[in-house]
């Protein structure tokens, strides 16, 4: 009897695995819509209820999300939970410092690789973000979303999927740091100049300059937040 009861669960786990494989094989991107339950059932040779359970497993893994009345879609950061490193349960007084120290260890090397490997499409995307950062600066609006987008895109320039998925986690410090530096005189202007210098180094495929400018940018950020680092 116990074996019979576990069959549906095993089928849903198998269906979930095949669904993940389908997403990878078809190179589905964030925002792409999955086939309907009936279509997936036919593809995998299982019932709609099994597909429904498989989708629930992928929702729990933050691979897909259901948009009411529209269907099931790939999430913006497939497979990454809201707090994958459990940072909410760490010492919050030290969190910003720890995040910046981590960025200092990782991001300069990311910029180094980015300058070596950036494609023209990557560079064009960075240029668009730089433009948005400059526009945000002119009207003193919150530039944080563009700041985060810039650093994420630099990571994307490495053509290394692992680095691209790690960086958004530590980029949380950019959002936290904005509140810390919003009223520091000249901090925004210095940040814009730093981004421009990093951008030009990547455009010129100058890896050493990209690494140097990123280190300089992070050290300046730590100074603006009164954080000392190595």
Q: What is the DSSP string of 168-182?
A: HHHTHHHHHHHHHHT
**pLDDT, averaged in runs of 10, over the chain (230 residues):** 50 91 90 94 92 91 90 82 65 79 92 98 96 76 79 94 80 64 74 94 98 95 72
pLDDT at 75: 87
pLDDT at 7: 41
pTM > 0.75? no
What fold is seen in the domain 2-74?
Answer: Arc Repressor Mutant, subunit A (1.10.10)
Provide the residue ranges of all domains of the chain, joining segments of one domain with +.
Answer: 2-74, 87-224
pLDDT at 5: 41
Helix, strand or coil, per DSSP, at residue 97: helix
pLDDT at 135: 84
pLDDT at 6: 43
Please provide the CATH number assigned to the domain covering 87-224: 1.20.120.530
Cα separation, 173 vs 199, whole angstroms? 20
Paired sense of beta strands 71-74 and 64-67, if any? antiparallel
Of 134, 72, 97, 126, the C-alpha closest to 222 is 97
């Amino acid at each position: 009897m116990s074996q019979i009861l576990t069959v549906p669960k095993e089928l849903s786990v198998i269906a979930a695995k095949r669904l993940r494989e389908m997403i990878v094989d078809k190179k589905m991107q964030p925002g792409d819509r999955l086939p309907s339950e009936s279509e997936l059932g036919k593809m995998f040779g299982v019932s709609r209820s099994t597909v429904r359970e498989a989708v629930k497993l992928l929702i729990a893994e933050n691979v897909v999300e259901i948009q009411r009345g529209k269907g099931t879609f790939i999430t913006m950061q497939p497979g990454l939970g809201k707090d994958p490193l459990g940072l909410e349960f760490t010492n919050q007084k030290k969190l910003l410092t720890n995040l910046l120290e981590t960025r200092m260890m990782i991001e300069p090397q990311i910029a180094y690789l980015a300058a070596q490997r950036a494609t023209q499409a990557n560079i064009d995307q960075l240029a668009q973000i730089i433009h948005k950062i400059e526009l945000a600066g002119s009207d003193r609006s919150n530039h944080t979303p563009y700041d985060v987008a810039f650093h994420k895109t630099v990571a994307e320039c490495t053509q290394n999927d692992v680095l691209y998925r790690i960086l958004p986690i530590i980029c949380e410090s950019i959002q936290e740091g904005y509140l810390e530096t919003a009223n520091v005189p000249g901090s925004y202007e210095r940040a814009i100049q730093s981004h421009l210098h990093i951008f030009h180094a990547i455009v010129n495929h100058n890896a050493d300059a990209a690494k140097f400018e990123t280190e300089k940018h992070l050290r300046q950020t730590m100074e603006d937040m009164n954080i000392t680092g190595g």
